[in-house]
Structure 1
Amino acid sequence: MEKEKETIQLVSMSYIHSPELINIIKSITKNSCPNSVNFHMHSTYSDGSLTAKQIYNQAIELNIDHYAITDHHSVDAYIELSKINDSIYKERSNFPKLWTGIEITCLLKGCLVHVLGLGFDHNSKYLLPYVDHKAAIGKELLASTVVDSIHKANGIAVLAHPARYKLPFYLLINEASKLGFDAVETWYNYERACNWIPSEYVCDKIFDCANSYSLLSTCGTDSHGLSLLRR
């Protein structure tokens, strides 16, 4: 028992303090990603190239403050990292905070879109239709159901990269606001530049649109490759 008490938990995490996460998101600017905050990335548990442990190591090396692994319909990366007690880094005074994350496919205004869930309880029964590595069907495919499920799991619902869909972003953001979305992934590199940078014109327009509906703005690299600094 004493030995267990002495064990140092080195992966800092949270899924029960949504007010804290909301305050972090409120502080995000176009310059926050990728060096300070990165709320969109993928591991080998879905379609990424990095393992969960490799992402963890990069987040430490890059001195990222807050990050979330948002694999498609999976929280396995979070579960894996929640078990890490890595003595290699025991001398560090602080660690990047890993928040729960997931990317869920759904229908919004009849358009297939992606929703990021952040800061939720990964053990919540409400997320069961969305954590089995495949898209939901029927009622569970509707954006309204996805948002409700994320909220019931004490999480935050974010419309991912709103300028990548068949419908204009302003229509989707308007509909998202009606359904109770909390935020929009405003700062995103639509050109997929080697050095990640938000696409200035479209992201500024998305920022104005999100603000007009009192929606928060998040950011993320949507990393699928070998670096968290680019897509």
Structure 2
Amino acid sequence: MNVDLHCHSTASDGSLTPAELVKLAIEREVDLLSITDHDTLHAYHHGLDSLPINLVAGIELSTSWRKFDIHIVGLNIDVAHESILTAVQLQTDARNTRATRIADKLESVGIQDSLKGARIEAGGGQIGRLHFARYLVSIGAVKTIQQAFKKYLGKGKAGDVKTSWATMENIINWIEQAGGTAVLAHPVKYGLTWAKLKLLLTDFKNCNGKAIEVISGRQDKHVTSELASLANKYQFLSSCGSDFHVLNKAWAALGQVEKLPSGCLPVWEHW
């Protein structure tokens, strides 16, 4: 079965509309799809239920953990449940506060109108750092997205802003109250040592997290093997997704996700 339970649309920082995303998934013969935009459910307001694909409602929520920004995916949620709507509103408020602070800091180093520019880049969706990066490219301040982060938005740079996200416990509670499953997104992408990753998994487990992404996009087989082993050790269910944002990125291609290793317990078999 072709499963992709982590991807993004224009509702957050993806390049395809929700309908375009689903169309591409159908073309690539995805059997089970979840659109997991950052801190928003707007993709599910586009009448996607009528399209010929098994669509699982999802969201990716940001949280703070021991000074790291961590992402938790909520899968199989009730998008109309009060708890998840509360979560979206609080996360949106945090994002808007962060965006204003980023713009103020960029202005202090001579970058004008970045908040307006980021909003235009977001096209009405959630504003993220990627939208500021795209704006910086559009005005010629840098040539590439990577340069935007390296020069302005990365750790310790002028536009680096720490965000007061909801706690991990609150995030997981909101997901569970909405009938969903809390999944730790892309565990190896936070720059943690294996020892610190195990500490994260312990805390996630203690907060009632249920699953981890054993596969996130294209990754080395030894990473997949290690994450599968950790999933079993901590008795987590296993998920997988491309983390698709834009076309022509081979390491995050929609619907081109390796199958879970044998021995993993697929999260979708427990809904």
TM-score, structure 2 as length reference: 0.61
Distance in 1 (CA, whole Å) between partners of 2:210 and 2:93 is: 22
**Greater share of residues in helix:** 2
1:151 and 2:176 are equivalent in the alignment:
yes
Q: Aligned to 2:38, what secondary structure does the other structure show? A: coil
2:208 to 174, 180, 190: 180
Please list every run of at least 4 consecutive aligned residues from structure 1 whose deviation after the TM superposition is greater than 3 angstroms: 135-140
TM-score, structure 1 as length reference: 0.71
Distance in 2 (CA, whole Å) between partners of 1:56 and 1:230 is: 14
Q: Aligned to 1:131, what secondary structure does the other structure show? A: helix
Tell me, yes or no, if the aligned pair for 2:64 and 2:70 is still in contact at 8 Å: yes
Q: Which amino acid aligns with 1:134?
A: T
Task: State the shift of 1:112 in Å.
Answer: 1.4
Tell me, yes or no, if the aligned pair for 2:15 and 2:246 is still in contact at 8 Å: yes
Q: Aligned to 2:238, what secondary structure does the other structure show? A: strand
Distance in 2 (CA, whole Å) between partners of 1:229 and 1:154 is: 25
After superposition, where does 1:7-26 map in structure 2 within 5 Å? Answer: none
After superposition, where does 1:76-115 map in structure 2 within 5 Å? Answer: 76-82=42-48, 85=50, 95-115=52-72
Tell me, yes or no, if the aligned pair for 2:64 and 2:164 is still in contact at 8 Å: no
1:53 corresponds to: 19
Tell me, yes or no, if the aligned pair for 2:29 and 2:255 is still in contact at 8 Å: no
Q: Aligned to 2:201, what secondary structure does the other structure show? A: helix
Q: Aligned to 2:92, what secondary structure does the other structure show? A: coil
Distance in 1 (CA, whole Å) between partners of 2:50 and 2:175 is: 28
1:80–1:209 distance in 2 versus 1, CA, 3 Å: same
Tell me, yes or no, if the aligned pair for 2:4 and 2:255 is still in contact at 8 Å: no
Tell me, yes or no, if the aligned pair for 1:46 and 1:71 is still in contact at 8 Å: yes
Q: Which has the larger radius of gyration?
A: 2
1:128 to 82, 85, 110: 85
Q: CA RMSD in A?
A: 2.4
Distance in 1 (CA, whole Å) between partners of 2:30 and 2:256 is: 14
1:42 and 2:19 are equivalent in the alignment:
no
Q: Which amino acid aligns with 1:221?
A: S
1:180–1:136 distance in 2 versus 1, CA, 3 Å: farther
Distance in 2 (CA, whole Å) between partners of 1:81 and 1:202 is: 37
Tell me, yes or no, if the aligned pair for 1:42 and 1:224 is still in contact at 8 Å: yes
Q: Aligned to 1:117, what secondary structure does the other structure show? A: strand
Tell me, yes or no, if the aligned pair for 1:223 and 1:230 is still in contact at 8 Å: no
The gaps in structure 1 that reach 5 residues or longer are 1-31, 87-94, 190-196
Task: State the shift of 1:136 in Å.
Answer: 4.5
Distance in 1 (CA, whole Å) between partners of 2:20 and 2:243 is: 16
Q: Percent identity?
A: 33
Q: Which amino acid aligns with 1:42?
A: H
Distance in 2 (CA, whole Å) between partners of 1:198 and 1:67 is: 20
Task: State the shift of 1:66 in Å.
Answer: 0.4
CA deviation map 1:59-117 (0-9, x unaligned): 221221100000001111122134x646xxxxxxxx32111110100023442100000
